Amino acid sequence: MARARLAWHELTAEPALEPELAICDAHHHFWHGGEPPPRNRDRYLLDELMADMESGHRIVSTVFVECRAFYRRDGPPAMRPVGETEFVNGIAAMSASGLYGPSRVAAGIVGFADLTLGSAIEPVLEAHKAASSRFRGVRYATSWDADPKATKISQPAPRGLLLDRAFRDGLACVARHDLSFDAWMVFTQLPELVTLARAMPDLRIVLGHVGGLIGIGPYAAHAQVLEAWQRNIAEVAQCPNVTIKIGGIGIYRHGFGWADRERPPSSAEMAEAFAPYVLYCIEQFGPARCMFESNFPVDGQSASYNLIWNAFKRITKGFSASEKRALFHDAAARAYRLA
């Protein structure tokens, strides 16, 4: 992460809350600065993640989620994303050696495969699994909105992709390989996810970033967005094969505006703003089907790794010990089958 951003993080410093609470960080990335696309990324690899994890929280394991990095340079285009799994498996092996501390970094790996290929995706999934015994699932961004520029969707998917026959054939292959599907979309698309989840009950679905919340552009009226988001989340929660990741707290399109401030918000301020979304997800899904995520380094645009986990701990301050174990560790470990 760039030095300027790290210096900005330090303007709001706090000790880690509940430092003994075991955490499985259910969602983070690795990339090398300048690697396309996009080209404006700062380097974020094992050393950078380890520095963040040394902030005082007890991160016992993590899950890497694809970010279009480290693809193979040549070979069939469909197979090139396997390079990302190969690379991250190397980082996971470094972490598993114990030389980098007790945390098991990338204990689970979620990669990319082009689900629009339908059943032709089979050899790609086999290659991912051959590349790493830690491979646990596929993420595919299906985000669509009528105004992608206003909603900051950098790579909008075709409208209605979750309903596409070939896409579902690809997902059927994911289910047959006992892998999960990490869903990434806009909250207005959640009814399509409900249709998918009901049509494919054997597919394990992990819904990212509190269901694709948006609070900018045409969705800047937070009260109205909250009501619509709640209706959709409640419907998704009725599908037993869906779990949800609670995070993305620092994503710019959530509309909190923290990245534009002179100094980062405190964890108390972040907790107050994000609590309505977090608590509603937990109310609807239950702690056993909710997992916290750092979404780093993306969320680093708004606050430090330490502050984000402090915010989650503040929101769940009144929860029981067993509920906290589920939210901070067990739900993620179960969803991604981490031993």
Per residue in 48-58, pLDDT (tens digit) is 999 999 999 99
Encode pLDDT of 176-231 as tens digits. Answer: 999 999 999 999 999 999 999 999 999 999 999 999 999 999 999 878 899 999 99
Strands 58-65, 104-111: pairing is: parallel
Cα-Cα end-to-end distance for the chain: 30
Phi first, then psi: give them for residue 244, nearest 5 degrees: -130, 140
Please give the Cα distance from 168 to 117 (Å, whole number): 10
Please give the Cα distance from 286 to 72 (Å, whole number): 40
Whether 300 is covered by a domain: the verdict is: yes
Mean pLDDT of 277-287: 98
Q: Give the residue carrying structure tokens 């499985």.
A: 24
Evaluate whether 72 touches 22 at the Cβ level (below 8 Å). no
Whether 14 is covered by a domain: the verdict is: no
Whether 63 is covered by a domain: the verdict is: yes
Please give the Cα distance from 64 to 185 (Å, whole number): 19
Nearest 5°: the CA angle 96, 126, 195 is 100
Domain range for 262 is: 3-7+20-335
Here the tokens at position 82 are 């396997």
Number of domains in the chain: 1
Q: What is the CATH number of the domain that holds 65?
A: 3.20.20.140
**Per-residue model confidence (pLDDT) at position 34:** 60
Whether 12 is covered by a domain: the verdict is: no
Using the Cα atoms of residue 49, residue 106, residue 70 and residue 186 in order, give the sign of their dihedral. Answer: negative
Q: Which value, in Å, is the radius of gyration of the alpha carbons in the chain?
A: 19
Whether 255 is covered by a domain: the verdict is: yes
